[in-house]
Structure 1
Amino acid sequence: MPICQRIGNLLSRLKKSIVELNIFHSNISSITDENEIRTEIISTRTFFLFLVVSLVILTGYISQIQVQKTFEISYPNYDQYLDLYKRYSTIVSCPCTTVSIPYEQFINIKATYHQVCQSIYTTNFWINLIKFSSIYQQPSPTFRYVGGPLFQLLASFCNSTNTTIDQGLNNFYKTLFISGTVMSLEIFQTQTNELIQIFISSTINSFTRSSDIIRETTSNNGIISGLLTNFDYHTEPYRTSDDTTMYNVISNYHTFTDSTSNCSCGDSPSCTAPVYFNNKDSLLIPGMYAGCFMMEALLQSNLICFYNQSCIDAVRYALNTPVTNITTTALDLTLPSQYQPNTTINDILSKLMVEQWINTTSHRDYYDQCNPIQCQYSYVGKNDFITVITTIIGLIGGLNTILRFIAPRLIKIYSKCQKNRVQPFAGE
């Protein structure tokens, strides 16, 4: 038999099977009642029609309803967390197993200082070079006399700011960062930046308060400068009524003169005047000041001369010391700096002599210390394809039972109604 004929016969038998499909078949009806068989076939068709319509309606409904979905990922690594946060930024939650983490685990702060603190001008070589030239100097507001102490104080400022920052960092690093759940990268960066700025400002304020206390204590208590730059004293003898010789101590406050006015240390501890190399020549040291107290003088001074090699060479020449193995190179103007050559030491010190704060924060290190054992996210959305299919499969059994009960009875009721319908009379 040709294959086309076989296919035709197969299709014919398939069509006949579909047309005669009867899931409500009974042995009695198959033998005795053709009418009953027809009713059963119609019931079968009705059953499948209802089943298909029901499945279509249920599929549409189940696929469109909004449901809350919750997912958990156990022991997520950092990359998995970032992927989750990228997709579900507002709903992902990863509880920390370690809720208090020391700052040192994920924050690193370094400070770079003004280049003068690493230069020859804050070393004992330079300080002693100036002091050597002033061995036989009488107290006077000249570079030979006050230069060494000024640079010694500058070196002290470099050391004290460095120590202050190191001690502050030690305390800062021990502070605990409290975090119940993993913070997002954006919030983490915002909070750590705020913490770092608070640390910087509090460290500056602490140093400034200490410095101000020293200045106020020195000036308010009338302490005499170790270099006798604010005042000196002498004694004048006098005789008492019983012919005893006594002495009066007479204080002599020094006066500093600038280009416009005179200022007495008895009136203000902040009196200063430009520094000349010595009393015998007119070599002015640009930016340098002498005053009642070395601290006040240094704070008003600047380093403009030491950015200029010609100025430094002139100072070296005027010092006229036998020491020749010290290289005094000018400070580098090409280095990036937030300070100008004429910025006062007071302004530099107000920023702890720091050129730049280098802050490194690691969200990955923070995450590793937080060590979440799971991440959870929930959201409201439509059922996915798998959920729809599994739900429909679960409902088919119930639908089958219900429709098997309903379909044949509907058809029987319909058939009885048709039989009881009054037929119109056909008369001539």
Structure 2
Amino acid sequence: MTIITQSNPSLVTYRRLHELYSDSLKCPCKKMSISYDIFITLSPTLHQICSSDFISESWISTMTLFNAQPGSNTILNVGLNGFDSRYFKLLSSICQLAIRTIDDAVRQFLTRSFVTQYVISESEFNAKLNTTFKQFKQSLITEFNLLTDMVHLFTRVDQPYTNSKNAELLPITPSGETNNQSPPELKFSFTGPIDINSTSIDCICATNPRCQSSVVLYKWALLPNGDQDLTTPYLVPGFIAGCFMLDSLQLSTLECFYDETCLSIYYYYIVWTRLLYSIYDWFVVRPLVYDNTSSRFPPETSLSVIVREMMVEQWNFSCSFEQHYEACSPNYCTYSYTTHTYGLLGIIIQMISMIGGLTVALRLITPVIVRIILRLISPQVNTEAEAEGNYLSTIINY
């Protein structure tokens, strides 16, 4: 066996040697512990809703006006069943939570070290790093979902009083007693999502936290001058009202924010709401745009699915074997190959084998060679014999 040492091998040299001598090639790393951030890039891209105008302060402050009650007789009957500022605040909070969680996790992940004594093959390097990243991603998503599931569970179990859509508080004065003598009493009138067909409450959230209903606008608006307008029922695409805002968000999709028609209704409400509050500045939100080459979530995807993926569209993970090899920087590589050599006994055996082979070969070809020689000689002998016969015949006849 012959051992060869290659000093300061470049990456090209290493790849060539690995192709020829992969079984015996060893290249000790000058630096055995290498930080991930040297050869790994990880920059997740979140769903576009997390960078859209719909979670901006301007949009949320405008939607907050829907929660208040205008004075006198100018009532804006929005009827969005909670899809106002609370919905967008919750959506913004989830986006911010996902961003902070991912940033912290990625920062910690890139501080890890890849430890190896020798340069490993490129295929093994890629396989190990891809497996490590998949484990990191799955662990991160699991922890994030555990947090959101706990919040959702506590909300359903505790059922906090959050708004009049959740449960109405009705003051009651006991009969036969004066107001000065009777203590105040409150009565809960439990409610739930309104059924779109009967316009009545068929599901009570207090007994069934999974109540849900589509959002239909039966009366789009009551204008400030008292005129009724736009009374045609409109089924808001993708909006599902649940018992709590978190339920509504997870049950719904983002279809409305891709749809110009749906957004035009929001704009309509915004115009009249701002007029009611004498707010005359104006801004236009940009609708979401679906591109199947860059987004894995179509518009009809439930927000619960998107949230369970941490709002991430693409993780954008890549690892560079070239940068890893440069950081490893082996001073030399060794490889070996086997050459066939013989001792004295081996030489004798080889000679005997050769002699035996020649003997057999001669036995086979000698008869053939003799026949060929005889054939070449026989024509000349016949010619000489014929000449002698003619000469003798001439003498006798003479």
Query: TM-score of the superposition, structure 1-length normalised?
Result: 0.67
- Deviation of 1:330 after TM superposition, in Å, equals 2.4
Partner of 2:244: 293
| Aligned counterparts of 1:278 and 1:129: Cα–Cα separation in 2 | 22
How far is the alpha carbon of 1:365 from its aligned partner? 1.5
Distance 1:277 1:259, change over 3 A: closer
CA distance, structure 1, for counterparts of residue 260 and residue 248 of structure 2: 23
- CA contact 1:141–1:229 (8 Å) conserved in 2: no
Q: Quick one: which amino acid aligns to residue 215 of structure 2?
A: V
Larger % of helix: which? 1
- CA–CA separation in structure 1 for the residues paired with 2:43 and 2:89: 25
**Deviation (angstroms), 1:279:** 5.5
In structure 2, distance between residues paired with 1:310 and 1:356: 29
Q: Distance in 2 between matches of 1:378 and 1:96?
A: 19
User: Which whole-Å CA distance do the structure 1 matches of 2:186 and 2:281 have between them?
Assistant: 45
CA distance in 1, matches of 2:82, 2:18: 67
Structure 1 moving runs of 4+ over 4 Å: 237-240, 277-281
Q: Does the aligned pair in 1 maintain the 2:251–2:304 contact within 8 Å?
A: yes
Residues 145-182 of structure 1 show CA distances to partners (whole Å, capped at 9, x for unaligned) of 53211112112222211111111101111122221211
Distance in 2 separating the partners of 1:74 and 1:179? 20
Is the 2:203–2:211 contact (alpha carbons within 8 Å) kept by the matching residues of 1? yes
For the pair 1:132 / 2:72, whether they are aligned, the reply is no
Structure 1, unaligned stretches of length 5 or more?
Answer: 1-67, 393-428
* 1:339-380 CA-partner distances (Å, limit 9, x unpaired): 111111111111111111211211121122223222111222
Q: Distance in 2 between matches of 1:222 and 1:144?
A: 18
What does residue 223 of structure 1 align with? 160
Of residues 310-319 and 291-300 in structure 1, the stretch that sits farther from structure 2 once superposed is 310-319
Partner SS for 1:92:
coil
User: In the alignment, what sits opposite 1:309?
Assistant: 260
Which of 204, 208, 211 is the equivalent residue of 1:264?
204
Q: How many residues align?
A: 318
Distance 2:234 2:269 in 1: 9
Asked if structure 1 preserves the Cα contact closer than 8 Å seen for 2:39 and 2:323, the reply is yes
Corresponding residue SS for 1:125 = helix
In structure 2, the partner of 1:340 is: 298
Q: Which moved more, 1:274-283 or 1:338-347?
A: 274-283
1:136 CA drift (Å): 0.7
Q: Counterpart of 1:381 in 2: which secondary structure?
A: coil
Matched, 1:120 2:42: no
1:104 to partner: Cα distance: 1.3
Q: Is the 8 A contact 1:141 1:275 kept in 2?
A: no
Q: Which residue of 2 aligns with 1:411?
A: none
Q: TM-score, normalised by structure 2?
A: 0.72
Task: Specify the code of the residue in structure 2 equivalent to 1:127.
Answer: I
Q: Deviations over 1:176-200 (max 9, x none)?
A: 2221211110000111111111111
Q: Deviations over 1:276-307 (max 9, x none)?
A: 45756433321113332111101111111211
| AA of the residue aligned to 2:210 | S
Matched, 1:357 2:297: no
Counterpart contact for 1:303–1:341, Cα < 8 Å:
yes
Following TM superposition, by how much is the alpha carbon of 1:273 offset from its aligned partner in structure 2, in angstroms? 2.3
Query: How far did 1:109 drift?
Result: 0.9
Describe the superposition over 1:242-292 as per-residue Cα deviations: whole angstroms up to 9, x where unpaired.
Answer: x97344443222121335782211023332322345756433321113332
CA distance in 1, matches of 2:168, 2:337: 82
Which residue number corresponds to residue 184 of structure 1?
Answer: 121
Structure 1 residues 276 and 124: CA distance shift in structure 2, 3 A: farther
Tell me which residue corresponds to 1:51.
none
Cα offset for 1:123? 0.9
Contact 1:229 1:291 in 2 (8 A): no
Match of 2:214 in 1: 274
Which of 88, 104, 107 matches 2:40?
A: 107
Change (3 A) 1:238 1:318: closer
Q: For the residues of structure 2 that align with 1:381 and 1:142, how far apart are their CA atoms?
A: 88
What is the letter of the counterpart of residue 107 of structure 1?
Answer: I
> What is the DSSP-based 3-state SS (H/G/I as helix, E as strand, rest coil) of the residue aligned with 2:339?
strand
Query: What is the percent sequence identity of the aligned residues?
Result: 26
Give me the whole-angstrom Cα distance separating, in 2, the residues matched to 1:135 and 1:308: 27
Q: Partner residue of 1:163? A: 100
Match of 2:287 in 1: 330
Q: Could you say which residue in structure 2 is the equivalent of 1:41?
A: none
Change (3 A) 1:186 1:145: closer
1:277·1:318 contact (CA, 8 Å) conserved in 2?
no
* CA–CA distance in structure 2, aligned partners of residues 244 and 155 of structure 1: 48
> Do structure 1's residue 378 and structure 2's residue 336 form an aligned pair?
yes
Distance between the aligned counterparts of 1:363 and 1:213, measured in 2? 41
